[in-house]
Amino acid sequence: MDRKIDKAAVDDIETFIYDRQKNYGSCLTISFTNRCPLKCEHCFVDALSSGGVDMDTKMVSNIASQLKDLQGTITHIGLTGGEPFLRPKEIKIISEAANSMGASVGVVSSGYWARSKLEAERIIEANENIQHYNLSTDLYHLKFVPLTNIKNAYEAAKKNCKEVIVRFTEGCGDSEKEKLLMEEIRKFAGKDIHVQSINPLGRAAHLHEEFHFARKKSPIPCLSSGPIICEDGVVLPCCNGLVAAKTDHPLILGNVAIDSLSTIYRKTSTNTILHFLRLWGSYGLYELLRKSSLSNLLPKKHLYYNPCHTCVKLFSMPQIDEYLADLSMDFELRLKVASGLMYYLKEPIFIEELFKDEDFKMKLGAQ
């Protein structure tokens, strides 16, 4: 890393990253179900066509009634799964509550319901409180849902003045077919396309695709814009691969069946490990662990350009989870993270909370 680089470019990227990191928690994602009528091979959520877990409707109503307590903090609610449209009643409960407190609502769906133009329009008109549609398609989704569904849903959403993005997952083996599919999507969606890569986690961990692993770790910090409430009420800090880590790790922020949403948000603002990741990424966490007695457990290779995969790998190891749970209470580390949050991300809550704590002040005085 000794090539001379332009300071202005570094500042520009720092600002770009800051813009994505500020206001953590402004987006709250909710998964009503991990059921899905599809069974895509690359699904990192490991969504199931039968069985699976549904969020209790009472829990959905409880979350809806608590949203107003976080008015101004939460500005966007994302609905995901599984397939959210398997729970139309629950979509209505949350989206009405969200809109009434000024938050927009987006949904991620395979568009399986948009079998005809008329049906697509009927569903979108029935969901007037949804403002954003994310329609997932790629070579794996196409085995279950034809592209005409995506086109129907896209056009019906546009007709109803909704924002629409086609979410396209690349890396599904045949790059020529992928290019052709992308050209087909461009014909109706233009630039309303968001490309993402396969995360080899969950069911995707068993794919035969060749993933690009390298020795170097991605230096990008955690870019999550807010937590996800999973179908069992567990709250995790992002809707990415951590959903696939089935361990009891220190990034579990709470459970809405036990604590109120605002309590979970308040506790989250002082979660040492989460904010460590936001500041210094899985790269930094790896370096921290490298200096510990657990260095022999660390993965030797990392998914190219993908800090989330390294993060999930680390939190999938119970010994590391236990070590980090202890470390998260360390005086020195808490102070570093609280200071970093204040300096880099202009977030004062953590440091304010630390200085309210008499034990902390005593320890500081003893230094």
Partner 1 sequence: MGVSNLNDEQLKEFANDPKKFIAVKKNMTQIIGLDSSTKRRVADILQYEEGLSKAQVKDRISKIAGTYETVTYTTK
Nearer to partner 1 among residue 140 and residue 168 (C-beta): 168
Nearer to partner 1 among residue 38 and residue 220 (C-beta): 220
Structure tokens at 270: 């002082």
Structure tokens at 126: 């029935």
Nearer to partner 1 among residue 29 and residue 152 (C-beta): 29
CB of 309 to partner 1, least distance (A): 10
Cβ atoms within 10 A of the Cβ of 119, count?
15
CB of 267 to partner 1, least distance (A): 20
**Helix, strand, or coil (residue 120):** helix
CB of 81 to partner 1, least distance (A): 15
User: By the criterion CB under 8 A, which residues form the site for partner 1?
Assistant: 1, 3, 5, 9-10, 12-14, 16-17, 20, 106, 132, 134, 163, 165, 168, 170-171, 175, 178-179, 182, 191-197, 216, 218-221, 223, 225, 239-240, 279-281, 283-285, 287-288, 291, 305-308, 332, 335-336, 339-340, 342-344, 348, 351-352, 354-355, 361, 364-365, 367
Q: Rounded to whole angstroms, how far apart are CA atoms 86 and 203?
A: 21
Helices (H) and strands (E) in the chain, counts: 13, 11
φ, ψ dihedrals at 132, nearest 5°: -125, 135
**Helix, strand, or coil (residue 22):** coil
CB of 116 to partner 1, least distance (A): 27
CB of 196 to partner 1, least distance (A): 6
CB of 21 to partner 1, least distance (A): 9
CB of 283 to partner 1, least distance (A): 6
Nearer to partner 1 among residue 194 and residue 267 (C-beta): 194
Nearer to partner 1 among residue 3 and residue 187 (C-beta): 3
| C-alpha closest to that of 115 among 85, 88, 91, 81 | 85
Q: Rounded to whole angstroms, how far apart are CA atoms 327 and 122?
A: 52
Nearer to partner 1 among residue 10 and residue 329 (C-beta): 10
Burial class (CB in 10 A: 0-12, 13-18, 19+), 157: buried
CB of 139 to partner 1, least distance (A): 11
Nearer to partner 1 among residue 257 and residue 329 (C-beta): 329
C-alpha pair distances (Å), 187 with each of 108, 121, 147, 193, 256? 21, 20, 12, 11, 43
Q: Rounded to whole angstroms, how far apart are CA atoms 263 and 222?
A: 23
Q: Rounded to whole angstroms, how far apart are CA atoms 255 and 273?
A: 18
Amino acid at 277: L
Nearer to partner 1 among residue 125 and residue 305 (C-beta): 305
